[in-house]
């Protein structure tokens, strides 16, 4: 948050200061914000009335009546977070600290189209809200991740390659009607995984790249603390960048040497299939490597090197301080990361790599849900939305 915004003194700013959970007095809030005591007292009263802030006791006093302290109350509202993949729907109810209160995961087919899929996830969400005490009345927003490009401003998919029937569909409007909630935000699933990993584990990191390595490959870019979506919401689309030295591989997009065709989980599975062996999914690849299969281990190591060649270019371009590798193939940990690290540290310039960490995701499949929740909470914490709650 800029100094300018911090001084603006809206409700959201006061709440942002309290968001870390530490109790503060009115005098402390006045000192940090530079606002008058009376302004701060008014803000605190509004936040208390909304239930977003709770009294937490009294501070120690140097004499006279000890001043009351207040802290953020994350349990005061709930968020519905929805993570849709090609074949899964994960739905959760969280509080305002991104803590998952209740969660449901099931197999779906995104190709059934938006009406069928959104009806189903709305039904799951309604059931989860019903199971959470007092949750329905306290719902502030719904966050949705989709496995394709999304126009974040309108909440509609844009030419999504694996989502037949979804192009241009009003996902935000549809879910708003189904769930009776005016705030529905939609984004690409990998952007939300980046946001989830960032908000859960790397809040102090301003420049982070999240790379999902599953059947396909994609990335989410966090720069100066925020997701960068690009002009059409297509930023981070790593899967069709050409891998140097792999010009003999033909991709389904028609180009040669695309990262996804060289090092995606689907491509690795296809490489390992043949003869008596049938390797049909990323899970099969992970199982083979864990069973000690030498060919599978070699293939994953080599895929890591190919990922490293493209990520080295990303490091030169974006200069992140953390690369988080997630997606189902990241379950292999160092067996995937070894090749990535070898090439990135060898290939990029020292200035960009000397403080660079390359790690696996620590959110075990929940990055998308956490990101969907964080997206909604960040939005709600802006003053305009907060004042609408009052």
> What is the contact surface with a copy of itself in residues (CB under 8 A)?
2-5, 7-10, 12-13, 149, 158-159, 206-207, 219, 221, 223-224, 226, 228-238, 240-247, 253, 255, 257, 309-310, 312-314, 316-321, 346-352, 354-356, 382-384
Nearer to a copy of itself, 161 or 333 (CB): 161
Nearer to a copy of itself, 50 or 102 (CB): 50
* Minimum separation from the CB atom of position 72 to a copy of itself (A): 18
Nearer to a copy of itself, 57 or 230 (CB): 230
Sequence-ordered alpha helix ranges (H) in 217-347: 259-263, 265-272, 282-290, 294-318, 334-347
How many residues comprise the chain? 390
* Minimum separation from the CB atom of position 378 to a copy of itself (A): 12
Nearer to a copy of itself, 262 or 374 (CB): 262
Pairing of strands 208-213, 322-326: parallel
d(CA 141, CA 51): 16
Nearer to a copy of itself, 35 or 94 (CB): 35
Sheet (strand 184-188) strand order: 100-107, 88-94, 78-84, 139-146, 184-188
* Minimum separation from the CB atom of position 256 to a copy of itself (A): 9
* Minimum separation from the CB atom of position 351 to a copy of itself (A): 5
The one-character DSSP state at 277 is: B
d(CA 124, CA 369): 14
Rounding to the nearest 10 degrees, give the CA dihedral for residues 229, 376, 357, 301. Answer: -70
CB 65 within 8 A of CB 45: no
* Minimum separation from the CB atom of position 345 to a copy of itself (A): 12
Sequence-ordered alpha helix ranges (H) in 9-162: 11-18, 26-33, 37-50, 114-131
CB 333 within 8 A of CB 326: no
* Minimum separation from the CB atom of position 235 to a copy of itself (A): 4
* Minimum separation from the CB atom of position 9 to a copy of itself (A): 7
Tell me which H or E stretch contains 171.
helix 171-179
* Minimum separation from the CB atom of position 369 to a copy of itself (A): 25
Contacts of 40-45 spanning 24+ positions with Cβ under 8 A:
40/14, 43/9, 43/11, 43/14, 44/14, 44/70
Nearer to a copy of itself, 232 or 278 (CB): 232
CB 368 within 8 A of CB 192: yes
Structure tokens at 308: 């490293």
d(CA 280, CA 265): 10
Nearer to a copy of itself, 114 or 320 (CB): 320
* Minimum separation from the CB atom of position 186 to a copy of itself (A): 16
Place of tokens 């995984």: 193
Nearer to a copy of itself, 294 or 351 (CB): 351
Nearer to a copy of itself, 16 or 94 (CB): 16
């Amino acid at each position: 948050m800029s100094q300018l915004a911090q001084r603006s003194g809206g409700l959201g700013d006061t709440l942002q200061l309290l968001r870390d959970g530490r109790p503060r007095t009115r005098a402390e809030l006045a000192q940090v914000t530079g606002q008058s005591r009376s302004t701060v007292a008014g803000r605190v009263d509004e936040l208390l009335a909304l239930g977003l802030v709770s009294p937490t006791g009294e501070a120690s006093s140097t004499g006279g009546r000890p001043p009351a302290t207040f802290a953020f109350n994350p349990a005061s509202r709930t968020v519905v977070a929805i993570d849709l993949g090609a074949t899964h729907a994960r739905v959760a109810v969280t509080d305002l600290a991104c803590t998952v209160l209740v969660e449901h995961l099931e197999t779906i087919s995104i190709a059934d189209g938006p009406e069928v899929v959104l009806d189903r996830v709305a039904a799951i969400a309604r059931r989860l809200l019903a199971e959470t005490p007092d949750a329905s009345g306290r719902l502030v927003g719904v966050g949705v991740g989709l496995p394709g490009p999304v126009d974040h401003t309108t909440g509609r998919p844009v030419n999504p390659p694996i989502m037949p029937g979804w192009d241009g569909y009003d996902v935000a409007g549809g879910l708003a009607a189904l769930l009776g909630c005016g705030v529905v935000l939609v984004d690409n699933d990998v952007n939300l995984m980046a946001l989830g990993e960032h908000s859960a584990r790397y809040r102090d990191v301003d420049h982070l790249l999240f790379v999902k390595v599953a059947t396909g490959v994609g990335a989410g870019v966090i720069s100066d603390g925020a997701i960068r979506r690009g002009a059409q919401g297509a930023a981070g689309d790593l899967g069709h960048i050409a891998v140097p030295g792999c010009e003999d591989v033909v991709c389904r997009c028609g180009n040669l040497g695309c990262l996804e065709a060289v090092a995606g989980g689907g491509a690795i599975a296809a490489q390992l299939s043949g003869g008596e062996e049938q390797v049909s999914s990323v899970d099969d690849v992970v199982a083979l490597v864990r069973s000690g299969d030498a060919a599978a281990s070699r293939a994953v190591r080599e895929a890591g090197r190919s990922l490293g060649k493209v990520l080295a270019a990303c490091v030169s371009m974006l200069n992140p301080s953390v690369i988080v590798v997630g997606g189902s193939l990241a379950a292999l940990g160092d067996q995937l990361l070894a090749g990535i690290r070898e090439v990135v540290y060898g290939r990029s310039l020292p200035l960009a790599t000397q403080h660079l960490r390359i790690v696996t995701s620590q959110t075990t499949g929940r990055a998308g849900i956490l990101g969907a929740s964080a997206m909604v909470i960040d939005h709600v914490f802006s003053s305009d939305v907060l004042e609408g709650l009052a």
